Structures are given as structure tokens and as C-alpha cells.
């Protein structure tokens, strides 16, 4: 993998204190595994999130590593956690709450793709205080909804952003906000969901991918 920058190129060296050569590969499944997001915890452990294909089913997949690159055996099974929500699931973003709980946001497939959020305890078990089973599925539009980015606000509310198809069959900006218990936040556009139409051409695609928040009230 190459890192590219629009600025002046700088010489980078792999950190050989990290797994002796600066690189780690982890086989989560016997099939295809993919990392889409990574976050560093306050204790310098880091969590990677993405998807793993097990038995033909795509699942949320998380791995947690110690600062030296070894898998953290206090997390899941040997440092690995997989969560099956539907026949096709993928974690697109990951964040750590102030209490250390881990939140993964992405997509799950029912009749169409929908936004999905999973919250884990620090040991990798599903957090039953979040929608009773640790999993929330949020249908946005009438077609496929694809979450691309996620943040946790200072007040603990979870915001997912991406794109959604409405009745016009065009992808539009889509944002959903959840309360800390996993329910949709009705103080956010009355139902917790906002779809913003930007383009009107079927050949255009609108997609919210990254968004810092300015205050607790404004995104």
C-alpha cells in the first residue's frame, strides 16, 4: 500500500518495534478479509474494523492489537470479533466512546442495504444496553443506503453519514443520529434521519464521507 500526499514527499520508515518489521497481517476468515477503518485507544491499543467472509456470509469484523502489533487476547477470541447481522454486512467506520466501548458503523443487507451500528463492550462482547442486543439497523431511503463515515459527539450521540436512494432512484446525502441507547434521536430533524438532495441527475451521486462537528449542536 502506498501513501500519497499533495505536499512535499517525506521519507518514512517502517517501525520495526511493531511486530519486528512494521507490518501485521491477520487472517480473520479463510476467505476475503478487508479493513475499512482503524482507531487508536487511549491505552495505545488499536482496533481495526472491516468485513470478513465466513461460510459465504459477509460479517462485521474487528481485530484489536497491542501497541507491539500482537493480537490482544483480552478482546473477543484471540483478539478477533465477528458479528453477523444479515447475509451481507460490512463495517465502514469505527470509534471509541469515552467509557471505552467500541462502536462500529456500516451496512447490513435485508431486502436492501441499510445503515447499521454495532456497539461492543471493551472485551468485544455485544453491548446489551444498546438496543438490547448491541445492534441497530437504520433504514434511510426506499432503496440502498450506504454508510461511509461515523462520529461520536461529546454527548455520546452517534452520527452516521453516507448516501441513500429515495423514490427518484438517485443517491443523496444521508445522515442519521442515534441516542446513546441506540434509538433514533428525534431531536434531530424530528425522526433522527436527514436526506439532503443535491443533484437531480441520475448520473450524479451524492455521498457524505467525512464530517467534523463544530459543536455538540451543529454537524
Q: What is residue 206's predicted lDDT score, i.e. its pLDDT?
A: 44
CA distance 4 to 12: 12
pLDDT surpassing 60 at residue 216? no
- Compare 177 and 203 and report the one with higher pLDDT: 177
Name the strands in the sheet holding 171-178, side by side, starting at the edge strand that comes first in the sequence: 145-152, 158-165, 171-178, 193-196
- Compare 84 and 21 and report the one with higher pLDDT: 84
pLDDT surpassing 90 at residue 101? yes
pLDDT surpassing 50 at residue 32? yes
CA distance 7 to 32: 34
Q: What pLDDT digit, counting tens, does each position of 111-133 carry?
A: 889 999 999 999 999 999 999 99
Contact 5, 62 (CB under 8 A): no
Coil, strand or helix: which one is 39? strand
User: What is the chain's mean pLDDT, rounded?
Assistant: 86
Coil, strand or helix: which one is 102? strand
- ∠ CA(135), CA(162), CA(116), 5° rounding? 10
Comparing CA positions, the residue from 84, 77, 83, 120 lying closest to residue 99 is 120
CA distances from 200 to 41, 88, 123, 165, 174 (A): 41, 29, 46, 12, 15
pLDDT surpassing 70 at residue 164? yes
Q: What is residue 141's predicted lDDT score, i.e. its pLDDT?
A: 78
Q: Read out DSSP for 120-153?
A: E-TTS-B-TTTTTTSEEEE--SSS-EEEEEEEE-
pTM for this structure?
0.85
The contacts of residue 90 (CB under 8 Å, 6+ apart) are 34, 36, 50, 51, 58, 60, 106, 107
pLDDT surpassing 60 at residue 7? no
Amino acid at each position: 500500500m502506498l501513501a500519497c500526499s499533495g505536499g512535499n514527499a517525506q521519507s518514512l520508515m517502517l517501525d520495526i518495534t511493531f511486530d519486528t518489521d512494521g507490518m501485521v497481517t491477520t487472517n480473520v476468515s479463510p476467505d476475503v478479509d478487508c479493513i475499512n477503518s482503524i482507531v487508536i485507544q487511549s491505552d495505545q491499543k488499536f482496533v481495526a474494523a472491516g468485513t470478513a467472509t465466513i461460510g459465504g456470509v459477509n460479517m462485521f469484523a474487528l481485530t484489536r492489537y497491542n501497541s507491539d502489533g500482537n493480537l490482544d487476547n483480552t478482546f473477543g477470541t484471540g483478539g478477533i470479533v465477528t458479528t453477523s447481522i444479515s447475509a451481507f454486512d460490512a463495517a465502514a467506520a469505527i470509534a471509541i466512546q469515552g467509557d471505552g466501548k467500541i462502536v462500529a458503523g456500516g451496512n447490513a443487507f435485508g431486502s436492501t442495504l441499510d445503515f447499521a451500528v454495532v456497539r461492543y463492550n471493551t472485551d468485544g462482547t455485544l453491548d446489551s444496553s444498546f438496543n438490547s442486543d448491541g445492534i441497530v439497523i437504520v433504514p434511510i431511503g426506499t432503496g440502498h443506503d450506504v454508510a461511509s463515515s461515523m462520529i461520536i459527539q461529546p454527548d455520546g450521540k452517534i452520527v452516521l453519514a453516507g448516501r441513500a436512494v429515495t423514490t427518484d432512484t438517485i443517491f443523496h446525502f444521508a445522515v442519521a443520529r442515534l441516542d446513546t441507547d441506540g434509538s433514533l434521536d428525534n431531536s434531530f430533524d424530528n425522526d433522527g434521519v436527514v436526506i439532503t438532495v443535491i443533484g437531480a441527475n441520475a448520473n450524479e451521486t451524492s455521498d457524505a464521507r467525512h464530517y467534523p462537528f463544530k459543536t455538540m449542536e451543529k454537524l
